[in-house]
Amino acid sequence: MSGAFSWSWAGLSWSGAALGAALLCGLVVVLYLLQVERRILPVAFLELWKQGQGSAQATRLRSRVRHLLSLLLQLLILVLLLLALGDFRRTSEDPGRSLVVLLDVSASMAREEAGATRLQRAQAEVRRVLTSLRAEDQMLLVAVGARPRPLTSFTADRAKMGAALDQAQTLDTEAQWEPALQLAQSVLQGQPEPYLLIVSDGEGSPGAWEEALRGAQLRASTPLRVDYHDVRQVEAAEPAPLLLSAFAVRDYPLERGRFEVLAELRHLEETGAALGAQLSVFSWDLARSASKLLELQRFTLGPGEILPVVLRDLAGAEGVLEARLELLEEGRAAPHAPQVAWAVLPSRPVTRVLLVTEGNPFLEAALLVDERVQFQVLPPALYPPAESFDVVLFDGVFPPRVSATGAALYLGAPEEKNQAHAPLTWSRQLTQVGFDQWERKHPLFHQLDPYDVQVLQAVALTPQPGDQVLGKSDEGALLVTGERPEGRFLALGFDLRQSDFVLRAEFPLFLSHAVAFLAPPVVTSELSAWSTGTLWRFPVEPAEQKQVQLRGPEGQNPSSWWAPVEAGRGLFWGERAGIYQVGEEGSQQALAANFFSLTEGRSPVLPLWQELQEREKHWVVREVQERQPWWVWLLLAAASLSLVEWWTYHRRWTV
């Protein structure tokens, strides 16, 4: 910094001030001319007033001086006001300093210590730096999360920077320092007097930060001066060394509608005492913004232990699951904030089944058991219906099949006149048979044993090439599946009423498997939850739209964005964990995002940070106290002069 100083404007620009001065001075002069124009005083008898004319002659010269003095006073007041507005100040003649402030907004900055969050302390520090900026200094404020995000342009506008600083919020991401340092380096390259100030708690993902920082210093045209300000409170209590490091839901491909929940708990310390933990799982109904507790389990984790928890058969779960992990101390919840994670349950679509029958209460009762089956009974004479279905069950009838009714399950043998419409032929009649062989690994027989099924009368099915026999007696095939032009079919070679199958507990399960086999549910490969600090590519319906609305996180001061859609997937850089709603109101889908980090909040302060912390600071904030708020004094001077002018006017010293 050179020692030479000059005067500059920090408020109004020179051109603005000059224009204002010209206009206002003109206005003052016009007002002055109007003021010095003598007022006309009508009197009754002028001869009487002529007696005062002598004094007018005597004071004419003094009057001119007073006029001039009055105008000069008013112009002086105006000039002082303009100087105050322009924030006229003394500045150095050097080109100013260039400062990049990297403000850590990672998740650990939300931790509250001694009555204030780390981010609030960081904001206070940056605000202090802001006030020490000189008129010619420029600054760039960058929020550092999973990726660096400039909050302002590289500017000298302190008001704009102050407003951006106030709006900074913590994110549910780690602080990635390497890209942030690269950004700072590229910004400061070629700038005069480059400074880099890092305001952080020292936690987060280091990456190749050291190389980035040293590279920035090497590539800078002038020596880059780096300061580090640590916002941690050393005496603050450490968070509980317990972490919910994973939470996800997966469904069973072979078991329609079933899913299991995976959670992973970690004891983060390698030594020390065991920790008691309580895991609660809630089901969230987004439409009603209400949750219900589904599962609650308690665990004890030894030092360094990683405990996977698998929860199955969570009855009543739908929509979104929320997991809360709380530390237990002496059997009670410890006063630590619970860790929360979310997961969206896989969708369970309803299968529409058409039951073509003259009336079969066994079938209807069995179909009613499966809540994901929605069936409709139709007399054979009315087939085919106008609607479309996923599966059709032909109960002893064989009408000409149409593809609109979906895959077919044939039960029993056809009469001779209808055999032409059957997918198979029948070789012979069978009596008193059962399933002697069956495809045990076929999903149709999952958790099902048909060996004890007794059949009074059946027909032996004759499969065609490409068909698969799934079950047969020693005398012939009883259960065959295959593909026909109208779709997949499954044929059972006996009337249900000619066997005890319908009386067995396995029958509803068999029927459910059959429906699932004929109309297999779409197994989604979508993630149950996305990770913050990554690009989310979530499916969008309909896929043709150009952008999709995303709103969330629910219950945490939600925001709304329009995410672009590419190839049927919305693209969004997620930085906050929680539950989001995708799509227009009325057809919204849930989306969950979690933040799991083994380093954020737990990692030790980076060594270089410590080194910088101990070093003498380059950026001197001391100037705050030394800077003269000239505009205040100018304003006071203008007010004083105005008082003088008012006082002298009322004593007829000025006019």
Partner 1 sequence: MGFLDLFKKRPRQRTPAQQEDPLLFDEEFVRKLDSLVLVSRRAFSGHRRGERRSKKRGAGMEFADHRPYTPGDDIRALDVGTYQRLGKLLVRLYEEEEDRSVSFILDCSASMGTGGQRKFRAAQRLTAALAYLSLAQLDRVSLSVVRDSLVHSLPALRGKQRIFRIFRFLQELRPEGKTDFHTALRTFVAQQKRRGPAVLVTDLFDPQGFEDALNLLRFHRFEVVVLHIWDPLDAQPAQLGEVRVQDVETEATVELILTERVAEQLRAGLRETEQRARQFCVARAIPYFALSVELSLEETLTGILRQGGLLR
Residue 49 found at the interface with partner 1 (CB under 8 A): yes
**Shortest approach of partner 1 to residue 76 CB, angstroms?**
10
Residue 53 found at the interface with partner 1 (CB under 8 A): yes
The interface region with partner 1, picked from 43-51, 447-455, 559-567, 598-606 by CB under 8 A, is 43-51
**Shortest approach of partner 1 to residue 50 CB, angstroms?**
6
Nearer to partner 1, 37 or 238 (CB): 37
Residue among 195, 143, 152 nearest 171 (CA): 143
Residue 137 found at the interface with partner 1 (CB under 8 A): no
* Residue of 8, 35, 189, 613 interacting with partner 1 (CB under 8 A): 35
Total number of residues that touch partner 1 (CB under 8 A): 36
Say which DSSP state 652 is in. T
**Shortest approach of partner 1 to residue 62 CB, angstroms?**
9
Count of beta carbons in the 10 Å neighbourhood of residue 116: 14
Residue 386 found at the interface with partner 1 (CB under 8 A): no
**Shortest approach of partner 1 to residue 67 CB, angstroms?**
9
Residue among 541, 537, 529 nearest 349 (CA): 541
Residue among 193, 184, 189, 187 nearest 228 (CA): 184
Residue 182 found at the interface with partner 1 (CB under 8 A): no
* Residue of 4, 48, 420, 505 interacting with partner 1 (CB under 8 A): 48
The interface region with partner 1, picked from 37-45, 120-128, 240-248, 406-414 by CB under 8 A, is 37-45
Tell me if 84 sits within 8 A of 9, measured CB to CB: no
Nearer to partner 1, 31 or 368 (CB): 31
Residue 43 found at the interface with partner 1 (CB under 8 A): yes
Residue 45 found at the interface with partner 1 (CB under 8 A): yes
**Shortest approach of partner 1 to residue 40 CB, angstroms?**
5
Mask for 74-113, x = binds partner 1 (CB under 8 A): x--x------------------------------------
Read out DSSP for 99-155?
EEEEEE-SGGGG-EETTEEHHHHHHHHHHHHHHT--TT-EEEEEEESSSEEESS-SB
Residue 41 found at the interface with partner 1 (CB under 8 A): yes
Residue among 549, 569, 548, 574 nearest 560 (CA): 549
Tell me if 550 sits within 8 A of 580, measured CB to CB: yes
* Residue of 6, 15, 52, 474 interacting with partner 1 (CB under 8 A): 52
Residue 44 found at the interface with partner 1 (CB under 8 A): yes
* Residue of 2, 6, 15, 47 interacting with partner 1 (CB under 8 A): 47
Count of beta carbons in the 10 Å neighbourhood of residue 615: 12
Measured over the CA atoms of residue 494, residue 495, residue 498 and residue 502, the dihedral's sign is positive
The interface region with partner 1, picked from 56-64, 82-90, 590-598, 610-618 by CB under 8 A, is 56-64
Residue 573 found at the interface with partner 1 (CB under 8 A): no
Return all residues near 72 (Cβ < 8 A) that are at least 6 apart. Answer: none
Residue 300 found at the interface with partner 1 (CB under 8 A): no
Nearer to partner 1, 34 or 567 (CB): 34
Residue among 161, 193, 3, 191 nearest 91 (CA): 3
Residue among 345, 361, 179 nearest 258 (CA): 345
Question: How many Cα atoms within 13 Å fall on the side-chain side of residue 106?
Answer: 31
Residue among 265, 277, 342, 325 nearest 553 (CA): 342
Residue 61 found at the interface with partner 1 (CB under 8 A): no
Residue 56 found at the interface with partner 1 (CB under 8 A): yes
**For residue 559, with 0-12 CB atoms within 10 Å meaning exposed, 13-18 middle and 19 or more buried, which class applies?**
exposed
Chain residues that interact with partner 1, rule: CB under 8 A: 31, 35-36, 38-53, 55-56, 59, 63, 73-74, 77, 642-643, 645-646, 648-650, 652, 654-655
